[in-house]
Amino acid sequence: MSRSRSHIKNSDHQIDLFADDTTPESPTMAKGGDNMIEIRGLLNSLDSTEALLQHWQQAEWIRPLDVGFARLIRVLSEEQGEEPDPLVLLLAALTSHQVGRGHVCIDLGNLLADAVQTLSLPPEESSYQPPKDTDTSERHQPEPAELLALVTLSECLALLGASCAVSDGSHTTPLVLNDTRLYLRRFWRYEQCIAEGIRQRLALPSPLADPESGPARTLSRALDQLFQSSEAVDYQKLACALAARNRFAVITGGPGTGKTTTVVNLLAALQAVAGESPDRAGRKYRIRLAAPTGKAAARLNESIGGAVSRLPLADLPGNVELADIPTRVTTLHRLLGSRPDTRRFRHNRDNPLLVDILVIDEASMVDVDLMASVFDALPANAQLILLGDKDQLASVDAGAVLGELCQRAFQAHYTPQTAQWLATMTGSRLPESLVDESGHPLDQAVAMLRKSYRFREDSGIRAFAEAVNTNALDRAMVRRIREAAFDDVILLSSPSGKPDPEDTLELVCRHAITGSPEAFRNAGQGRQVNDQPLPPPVGYRHYLEQLQYHDLDENSSRGDWDAMAVQLLEAFSDFQVLCALRKGPWGVEGLNDRIAKQLLAEKLIPRAEGWYPGRPVLITGNDYNLGLMNGDIGITVSVPWDRTATGEPRYTLRVAFPSSDTPGGIRWISPSRLQQLETVYAMTVHKSQGSEFDHTCLVLPDRLSPVLTKELVYTGITRARNWFSLITGNPNVLREAVGQQVVRASGLAERLMAD
């Protein structure tokens, strides 16, 4: 079934063949010219298209994986007796490239309308010079946008539609075309699975839907006991009611808006309903709590215990006991049963999880692959509750599931029926602006918490984060921060007052050591949090001095060393430098190097390279044998547990990690056993998701790059619990960064809204 591709051999043929095309001709085509014909000619043969892809790979614009995928399409097509169209190969490679950039698919309309923006190619930091290859040195090697300017949407759709490597998903092909979205099959399937899992749960009837029913009355009584706020509208109570009614629900909110508090109350209310339900004969729900990373799980572990212990259990219907509300949080990988060397989990549709309710915290970090695995492993009628901050950076891997599901959360779009039900159940009347006759079923399952209980009204961290998030960061706000008008936020820049990279990077290093308390208002003195005095902000000197001056020795017990390591890890989490980039002087690599050298110069560490006491490390890949997860942080300590040949104690280095099994416990691991790690004086904002630090310093580079976005700056600011410092190589970069927003291509929201 070989097909000729003469229709794109030259533009005359193309115009004939696509005479009914409504897409306007591109200006480049209208201009015509030799160069255009030459560029177009690259799509005449498979070999020249493959050579071009390889050229882009050499330039590190696309990955070997992307070129390999295009080659696979060619091989599979040829096996079926079809010569694939070179344009199909090109689109296959670019779709794979987009997946590598976090997109679930490529929207061909957007691609052809603005290829540079859609693909981010060539990358802004690319310094590539074309190689002097004998075959290619004379030929112009076009950029993707130049090539794509010569093709039309209908041409792409027609060629993809005719290719044996592409289908609408109804049979197995490596590419799936859905309207104008082109997917790698795997990612189309993930999206299908998630959409199906949500849709099916939203359609399940709820015993709570009738406010007069027994279960609904129990829920209402429980909510009244659990929420005794005097506010006109208690959004936590509303969120709780809404999430209780649906087998799928999302609760989103900024830092400290009470997501943990709300979910604990929700679980108590659901157990009260179970306890009173004759169908269940007093059997409570099996509930599991999970988070995408070890760090996020540990943080929820810390906060949930307190919230559970404050529950007014005695006042609740249904004989709810403490043991009915879980306090142990596991990672999603552990819950699903990850296995080495395969992305398939032990729990799946053939071996579902034994759970009635699953709560996933920090759900913004869950990519489509993992989310699809969750739906695959959940029993069909199990309830799924996602918690997270919709405005944070999306997952590192493809997808922005939480963000998409919460696209309409701010306006809520509750139907009058939902508003009435909520009023009956909670006694709170929703503002009219949140009610919408044409609200969609998904809207009825999404709740947004709108009041921060962690940050006071006058908090700079809160004001700064809100301004970034709502596009309200103006000069006046920046001036206020610069002039230390807030207690908790400072903006530091080059002492010379001009953007000077060397000066500013020096400043970052000095700040990283002391935390610059003197730069904060009143030198950071005199603040109180929950009526307790708050110590001033610190830098890395704080934990390194704890390590230098500890008084343990060979006679100290393992328990003493564990206790010291717990304190050390806690002290380390009091400060963290965050940055946007990985490479270069403003990235993790450059900053780690510089900060380590400065710490060495100050004699806080004995050397700046290799392993040494005090070296903090971040695990960058899951290691199931050691039980370490991507994102875990450990600190290197010299311990006297080895023996010399004569039996004398000998000090060797071990890395202390918080134990994931025993709260407050420590695991000591020999550095030689650790595989994927990096020093963590500086950490990317991406890696910091799910973590919080008492004092966070965000370093922005002196030039804009595509990774610098509003979401990144917001996520960086909201990692700070009490103190936040911003250091920027160029003040304009902050303004420009918050003007850039992450938009990830995906069809999930549209699929769910299409019903």
SS3 274: helix
Q: Report, in angstroms and rounded to the nearest whole number, the Rg of the chain calculated over CA atoms.
A: 28
Q: Contact 633/680 with Cβ under 8 angstroms?
A: yes
Residue 253 binds ligand ATP (CB under 6 A)? yes
Residue 690 binds ligand ATP (CB under 6 A)? no
Q: Residue with structure tokens 């790059």? A: 705
For 338-381, give the secondary structure using H, E and C: CECCECCCCCCCCCCCCCCEEEECCHHHCCHHHHHHHHHHCCCC
We find the least distance from the C-beta atom of residue 238 to ligand ATP, in angstroms, to be: 12
Q: What torsion do the CA atoms of 120, 125, 131, 137 make, to the nearest 10 degrees?
A: 60
CB closer to ligand ATP, 241 vs 605? 241
Site for ligand ATP in 291-310 (CB under 6 A): 303
Residue 450 binds ligand ATP (CB under 6 A)? no
We find the least distance from the C-beta atom of residue 299 to ligand ATP, in angstroms, to be: 7
Residue 453 binds ligand ATP (CB under 6 A)? yes
Q: Which of 260, 338, 592, 730 binds ligand ATP (CB under 6 A)?
A: 260
Per-residue contact track with ligand ATP, 212 to 241, x per CB under 6 A? Answer: -----------------x------x-----
End-to-end CA distance of the chain: 37
Cβ count within 10 A of residue 601: 12
Residue 259 binds ligand ATP (CB under 6 A)? yes
Residue 716 binds ligand ATP (CB under 6 A)? no
Helices then strands (H, E): number in the chain?
29, 22
The site that binds ligand ATP (CB under 6 A) totals a number of residues, namely 13
Interacting span for ligand ATP (CB under 6 A) from 123-131, 257-265, 397-405, 644-652: 257-265
Q: Contact 187/224 with Cβ under 8 angstroms?
A: no
CB closer to ligand ATP, 232 vs 754? 232
Interacting span for ligand ATP (CB under 6 A) from 217-225, 249-257, 403-411, 414-422: 249-257
Cβ count within 10 A of residue 231: 11
Query: What's the CA gap between 707 and 705, in Å, rounded?
Result: 5
- 368: Cβ–Cβ under 8 A, 6 or more apart, which residues? 104, 187, 190, 191, 194, 397, 398, 399, 401, 746, 748
Residue 386's alpha-carbon distances to 291, 381, 402, 628, in angstroms, are 10, 16, 8, 24
State yes or no: cis peptide before 122, omega within 30 of 0. Answer: yes
Q: Which of 49, 173, 261, 709 binds ligand ATP (CB under 6 A)?
A: 261
Per-residue contact track with ligand ATP, 398 to 437, x per CB under 6 A? Answer: ----------------------------------------
Residue 255 binds ligand ATP (CB under 6 A)? yes
Residue 84 binds ligand ATP (CB under 6 A)? no
- Long-range pairs for 109-114 at CB < 8 Å and ≥24 separation? 109/153, 109/180, 110/745, 111/148, 112/23, 112/148, 112/151, 112/152, 112/153, 112/156
We find the least distance from the C-beta atom of residue 693 to ligand ATP, in angstroms, to be: 12
Interacting span for ligand ATP (CB under 6 A) from 181-189, 253-261, 406-414, 598-606: 253-261
Which residue numbers belong to the known binding site?
253-260
CB closer to ligand ATP, 234 vs 276? 234
What's the length of the chain? 755
Residue 392 binds ligand ATP (CB under 6 A)? no
We find the least distance from the C-beta atom of residue 461 to ligand ATP, in angstroms, to be: 11
CB closer to ligand ATP, 201 vs 462? 462
Cβ count within 10 A of residue 321: 12
Residue 257 binds ligand ATP (CB under 6 A)? yes
CB closer to ligand ATP, 181 vs 259? 259
252, containing H or E segment: strand 248-253
Which residue numbers belong to the known binding site for ATP?
253-260
Interacting span for ligand ATP (CB under 6 A) from 123-131, 259-267, 398-406, 549-557: 259-267
The residue ranges that bind ligand ATP (CB under 6 A) are 229, 236, 253, 255-261, 303, 453-454
